[in-house]
Amino acid sequence: MKINNRLRKMIKHFIFKFHFMQKYKMLKSCNPSDYCRFIYYDKNKITQYIKLIDNIEINIKKNHRFIHWIDENLKIFHMDSVIGNIPPNYSLILDNPMDYFYHYNKEFLNAIKRYISRIIIKIHNSDCDEKHKYIKYFENMINAKANSLEEALQRILFWSSLFWQTGHKLVGLGRLDLILDRFRDLNTKEEQIDIISDFISELHDYYSFKSNSLPGDIGQIIIVGGKSVDGSYFSNSLTYSFLKAATKLKFSDPKILLRVSKNMPEELYDLAVDCISTGIGSPLLSNDEVVINSLIDFGYDKIDAYNYVTSACWEPVSYGNSLEQNNITNINFANVLVKTIKDTKFKNSVCFEDVLKLYKDKLKVELTIIFNYLDSIIWEKDPLFSSFIDDCRKKGVDISLGGAKYNNYGVLSIGLANAIDSLMLIDELVFKTKTFNLSEIYDAWNNNKKLFDIINNKLLKSKKYFGHDDDKNIIFTNEIINFTNELVDKYRNKFGGKCKYGLSSPSYIDLGKKTFATFDGRKCNEATAVNISSVDNVSPTELISFASSIEYHGTNSNGNVIDFFVSPTLINNHKDSFKDLIKGSINNGFFQMQINVVNSDILIDAKLHPEKHLNLVVRVWGFSAYFNDLPDEYKDTIIKRCLVSEGKCSE
């Protein structure tokens, strides 16, 4: 059932008033030093932002290279969905004074100027070193371009903190080596690495405040490298310095995404492998040989496709000119399979083609529900993000109202591997070997627990298909993907934007809890398969070959990540071989790749003795996190996947 916008507003207003009263009661009972300050909802978003900016407490820390803070006790209330999960185009504030934005929103910019004036006074009255330098940095924000690498990064930190302060989440950094290119030769290599290391350390600060659904789920992704329109590969000294700094610091966040291509320099391969071998989950590798063509096929202008960045995890997005919310909801391929089996039409099917048709019908219903949900979304007005979008400024239209050049949506997906394995096992065990019949499966999935246990025990030992480099598996996987493409490709949102989906998602545990057992041995409420991976022990080379055979069109270009484990010993003792694996994989045509470098013994010991592994980092989904910070269910899932990859666990 669709809820009209007026009713939806009334419901949200009621919820808001309830939350307001709850907060008010809480505030009255607290000591003033113990509670947050709230900037409450205002229909005039600019007025609300100005109130927030005027109330930010400034914290000048001594002995830091950068002046950087977030007022963690100052909160802003939003009524509608807040735009986030995309990086601002920081080149605008590096190459222009603030007056560049002035004609778009004079009142808002004046508030930021007042804020900068307060900062300058605070610096002047502080005991920090080099006061005059920092005062000049902040004065230049108003009336000049940035003049050095340090000043440019200081400017990015200032504006980045404003995005976090105003309630935005998962705010990335974009192609920093490209937008900082004019500063690349102003320092020695050692100075450059030191400056970038301090910059990364500042971004890593306020870790808990910035985390979204889990500790470490921050979204501060830095994009480096990339294929240029003329076919050459872009990189500079900053590309190398960002990788070297990440390797040195070994932080879980911010994370690095390296855009890889056939023409990538040899030294960059070496640095990428060195960084991966630390186990921090960076860099994630994004294959420009496949991604760019897929984005052009989706509808991006060529120049925008070549200049792509990603949302918080891995979802490609046009840089600096788009609304592009790429992590709105999920297609649950596994749950569609469950609904298929529980339908009475399932047991009456006479051939596998009937079962497959029923699955596709259920998938069509699933996508219709998703499209209705997308149509119901109301975005919060956003003067800050709109200031960073050229089309919004030129047209005077807020990003929330479709003012950007691109206004596409993106959804993710879970359980494709479980659905593929289940359908292929139905074909194998019912229609070929006749081990079971459809009525037995239907009854087992509709509360015949004894029969369900018998079948599920058999399935645990059955062959798995997804992730294995076999023509039949690949053809069937592409059939389901292409059918999904046809359905998604028809959708248009209220701004005329399209929708793309990806074969990766962070929701494999949360949505797995809500999904009944699938016909591949996955238990009820258990996590679904993760990204493009296999639920059994398959070699990375076979998994990569399988993933490279998937047909990546524009519609399914919202992140397609190969996800596997490698032991630290293997990668450290065979770095040249691992480098060759990456080179060959680029040529084969994978879309994206992330790697956990850890072994099960370390993970198990870390769960038992966390005090011994305080800095152990693991790749969780599109982000890395400290293992000790994760809930037990995530630790257990990562341990199990690692055991499977080592051949020590069969399920």
- Per the CB < 8 A criterion, the answer to whether 395 and 403 are in contact is yes
In this predicted model, which residue has the larger pLDDT, 413 or 535?
Answer: 413
Return the pLDDT at 16.
Answer: 46
Q: For the whole model, what pTM was predicted?
A: 0.93
- The contacts of residue 93 (CB under 8 Å, 6+ apart) are 141, 155, 156, 159
| pLDDT above 50 for 355 | yes
Return the pLDDT at 43.
Answer: 86
What is the residue extent of each domain of the chain?
330-566
Question: 35: how many CB neighbours lie within 10 A of its CB?
Answer: 14
Helical packing angle, 131-143 and 106-125, nearest 10°:
170
> Could you give the CA distance from residue 282 to residue 275 in angstroms, rounded to a whole number?
6
Would you call 521 helix, strand, or coil by DSSP? coil
Return the pLDDT at 33.
Answer: 45
Question: 194: how many CB neighbours lie within 10 A of its CB?
Answer: 17
273: left (phi over 0), alpha (psi -120 to 50) or beta: alpha
Given CA atoms 560, 564, 569, 574 in this order, what sign does their dihedral have?
A: negative
> Could you give the CA distance from residue 49 to residue 382 in angstroms, rounded to a whole number?
9
Determine which helix (DSSP H) or strand (DSSP E) holds 160, and give its type and residue range.
Answer: helix 149-165
Beta bridge partners of 233: 227
Report the b/e string of 540-568 with b at 16+ CB within 10 A.
Answer: beebbbbbbbbebebbbbbbbbbbbbbbe
Determine which helix (DSSP H) or strand (DSSP E) holds 498, and give its type and residue range.
Answer: none
Would you call 326 helix, strand, or coil by DSSP? coil
Given CA atoms 248, 621, 239, 311 in this order, what sign does their dihedral have?
A: negative
- Per the CB < 8 A criterion, the answer to whether 235 and 225 are in contact is yes
* Average pLDDT score over residue span 75-92: 94
Return the pLDDT at 102.
Answer: 60
Q: What is the pLDDT of residues 28-77, one digit of tens each?
A: 444 444 568 999 888 899 999 999 999 999 999 988 999 999 999 999 99
> Could you give the CA distance from residue 406 to residue 56 in angstroms, rounded to a whole number?
33
Question: 12: how many CB neighbours lie within 10 A of its CB?
Answer: 14
Q: What is the pLDDT of residues 93-137, one digit of tens each?
A: 999 988 877 666 889 999 999 999 999 999 999 988 899 999 999
Q: What is the DSSP string of 614-646?
A: TT-EEE-SSSEEEGGGS-HHHHHHHHHHHHHHT
Q: What is the pLDDT of residues 294-305, one digit of tens each?
A: 999 999 999 999
Where does the pLDDT of residue 271 fall: very low under 50, low under 70, confident under 90, or very high at 90 and above? Answer: very high
Number of residues in the chain: 651
* Average pLDDT score over residue span 226-252: 98
Return the pLDDT at 7.
Answer: 55
Position 228: which residue type? S
Q: Within a 13 Å sphere around the CA of 431, how many CA atoms are in the beta-carbon half?
A: 14
Q: Which of 643, 546, 621 is nearest to 589 (CA)?
A: 546
Q: Which of 461, 463, 456, 454 is nearest to 432 (CA)?
A: 463
| pLDDT above 50 for 23 | no
Q: What is the pLDDT of residues 538-594, one digit of tens each?
A: 999 999 999 999 999 999 999 999 999 999 999 999 999 999 999 999 999 999 999
Report the chain's mean pLDDT, rounded to a whole number. 93
Q: What is the pLDDT of residues 136-178, one digit of tens each?
A: 999 999 999 999 999 999 999 999 999 999 999 999 999 999 9
| pLDDT above 50 for 27 | no
| pLDDT above 80 for 2 | no
Would you call 5 helix, strand, or coil by DSSP? helix
Where does the pLDDT of residue 648 fall: very low under 50, low under 70, confident under 90, or very high at 90 and above? Answer: confident
Q: What is the pLDDT of residues 304-329, one digit of tens each?
A: 999 999 998 999 999 999 999 999 99
> Could you give the CA distance from residue 598 to residue 644 in angstroms, rounded to a whole number?
13
Largest Cα separation within the chain, whole Å, is 82
Return the pLDDT at 22.
Answer: 47
| pLDDT above 90 for 383 | yes
| pLDDT above 80 for 502 | yes
Return the pLDDT at 5.
Answer: 56
Q: What is the pLDDT of residues 460-484, one digit of tens each?
A: 989 999 999 999 999 999 999 999 9
* Average pLDDT score over residue span 276-293: 97
Return the pLDDT at 103.
Answer: 64
> Could you give the CA distance from residue 120 to residue 122 in angstroms, rounded to a whole number?
5
Residue 574: Cβ-neighbour burial (10 angstroms; 0-12, 13-18, 19+)? middle
Return the pLDDT at 41.
Answer: 86
The CA angle 491-492-494, to the nearest 5 degrees, is 140
Return the pLDDT at 20.
Answer: 46
